[in-house]
Amino acid sequence: MISFALIEVDSGASPEKLARALLWIWVAISYPVALVVGSELVLGRRPEELFRRGISARLTAAGACLAGDDRAFRRELERLERMGREDISSYAKAGPAAAASTRTRLLAQVDLLLLLLREVPPGARMVLRWRKPWSRQERFVALRAMRCSRAGASRTTL
């Protein structure tokens, strides 16, 4: 814009023509910039949402691999592993400052999970075993321990 103004001044135009040209060039530059900034504010994705989606995709793929749905989710897991953490690491520090360290630790834990899943053989499957229901005495002991821990007791006498 400054170079355009200097060219117009050297052309010997009248001050009125110079002022009109500068105002119109100012509109031609600022209007698209304002339009892009406004649309990004209204329609753009929030960093917290992008971080949650990235973590969710990684955890979903890891859970499906452990559940035994190997082929499709194993490929998805490998794709996410190749991408690394660069796609969401910049969003870990965005948003509320109080939660930035938590998001960074969460990202490190998910990376560790993906690293461990790489070592799991492709045919391995996590089998969930259901525990038998608690007996009346086991429930009593568990409830007593929970009450004592909530009360902040240092020693529990059962």
What is the tens place of the pLDDT at every residue in 108-130?
888 888 888 878 776 666 655 55
pTM: 0.52
What is the spatial distance between Cα 119 and Cα 113, in angstroms, rounded to a whole number?
10
Which one, of 120, 60, 110, lies nearest residue 87 by Cα?
A: 110
Share of the chain above pLDDT 70, in %: 77
Which one, of 12, 114, 7, lies nearest residue 64 by Cα?
A: 114
Confidence of residue 153 (pLDDT cuts 50, 70, 90): very low
What is the mean pLDDT of the segment spanning 97-118?
Answer: 83
Summarize pLDDT for 34-49 with one digit per residue, the tens: 999 998 888 877 878 8
What lies within 8 Å, CB to CB, of 72 at 6+ separation is: 64
